[in-house]
Structure 1
Amino acid sequence: MLKILLIVSLFAITSSFQTAPTAPLRSLPPLLAVETPNPELSTFTGAFIETGGRVWDPWGLSNWVPPSWAREAELANGRSAMLATVGWVWPKWFGAFPGFDDVTTVDPVGAIGQADPQWWAQFIVFCGVIEFNKYRAGQNGKNYLGETTGEPFYDPAGIFGRTPEAREKMAERELKNARLAMLGIASFVAGHFIPGSVPCLPPGF
């Protein structure tokens, strides 16, 4: 029996050093094949110098997922990440808000467990109200995806701009900050659970 195991192990080791045959591109799974991006992407904000002057879609995922849906998801997650980044950094620099005795830690992950359930209930209701108003605004022709046309869904300070050029610049800024925030909050979470995994991030941040 031992000889059989040794022979099988030797075969497995030698096989692992053999060069695997290169499969043609058409035989790859659809989501791994590099395909021509959807032409609809050319109408989207995001053709920056960092991405070679075109909307970045190296895997051609826009051929499998509606580009408008993907952009909506990207901005929604990016906006959430911007808020999450502020929520992560604020208590570490300025401490917790006074008057909230339930939360006694400035550790964002630890604070999740200390928060009163009614806070989470209020938060869920708040998010639902925002989503309902976004839907109603979309039905009325307003935009919430950073488009340069149409009136914005929510812009009380008027920072979105009134000219196409100003709106294009603001849309680019929001998209870049959203992407940066997603990377930022991911690095904070990684550094929290795997200390030392993020270069230049202070221990315990």
Structure 2
Amino acid sequence: MKSIAALALISSAAAFAPAPVSKVGSSLDYAKELDSMPTSVECPKVFDPLGLSDYLPVDWARRAELSNGRSAMLATVGWFFPKVFGTFASSDVTTTDPIDAILQADPQWWAQWVLICGVFETWKYKKEMEGKSFLGGDDPAVDYLKLWPADQAAREDLKMKELKNARLAMIGFAGFMANHFIPGSCPVPDFIA
């Protein structure tokens, strides 16, 4: 009787043991492409705690990072410009608080803004179809000041500088937002906060 009880306990315990699972690799494994990305000692190639590089093309993710970084650079300047220099002569927006200014703007202004962004994005798309680039290619679509260097090493240096500034601006803007909604959460100077 004792041996039957022991066998019953052992067999019931086996029901709760983890089943052996074979490791299945992703067919979209882009992690190997990370090794060919340009980097510097101070600027790491990738910070990917969620493992998104296994599901997204690395080149697309880098272009998205650079595009968002450029927007963050503009947003950072737009955050502190009215606080330092004041607002334009306008009866619509009377505050230097960026979040309140968004809510004070007239809806027709937002419609115009969406329209002009759509025009620019369409123009960028057409230029990309012509082989020009806005996000790290060798032949920029817009270079009015002729700042794009002819030397390949200087080009890579310029790309790395822009990537570093983009990352810094994204972190800085996130700090501004955090300090706005949770006052004192980030060490932001009083004239910017």
Q: Say whether the fold is shared (TM-score over 0.5).
A: yes
Q: C-alpha separation between the residues in 1 aligned to 2:127 and 2:31?
A: 27
List runs of 5+ in structure 2 lacking aligned partners.
1-20
1:142 aligns with 132
List runs of 5+ in structure 1 lacking aligned partners.
1-25, 31-35
Q: C-alpha separation between the residues in 1 aligned to 2:192 and 2:153?
A: 43
Contact preservation (8 Å) 1:195, 1:204: no
Question: TM-score, length-normalised on structure 1?
Answer: 0.74
Q: 1:55 to 1:78 in 2, by over 3 A?
A: same
More deviation in 111-120 or 157-166? 157-166
Aligned pair partner of 1:48 in 40, 43, 50: 40
1:53-92 equivalences under 5 Å are 55-59=45-49, 60-92=51-83
Aligned pair partner of 1:122 in 112, 121, 146: 112
Q: C-alpha separation between the residues in 1 aligned to 2:192 and 2:136?
A: 35
1:109 aligns with 99
Q: C-alpha separation between the residues in 2 aligned to 1:103 and 1:77?
A: 26
DSSP-derived class of the 1:50 partner: coil
2:16 aligns with none
How far off its partner does 1:44 sit? Answer: 2.8
1:33 aligns with none
Alpha-carbon displacement from aligned partner over 1:57-86 (angstroms, at most 9, x marks no partner): 454432211112211211111111111011
Determine what percentage of the aligned residue pairs are the same residue. 50
Contact preservation (8 Å) 1:102, 1:115: yes
DSSP-derived class of the 1:65 partner: coil
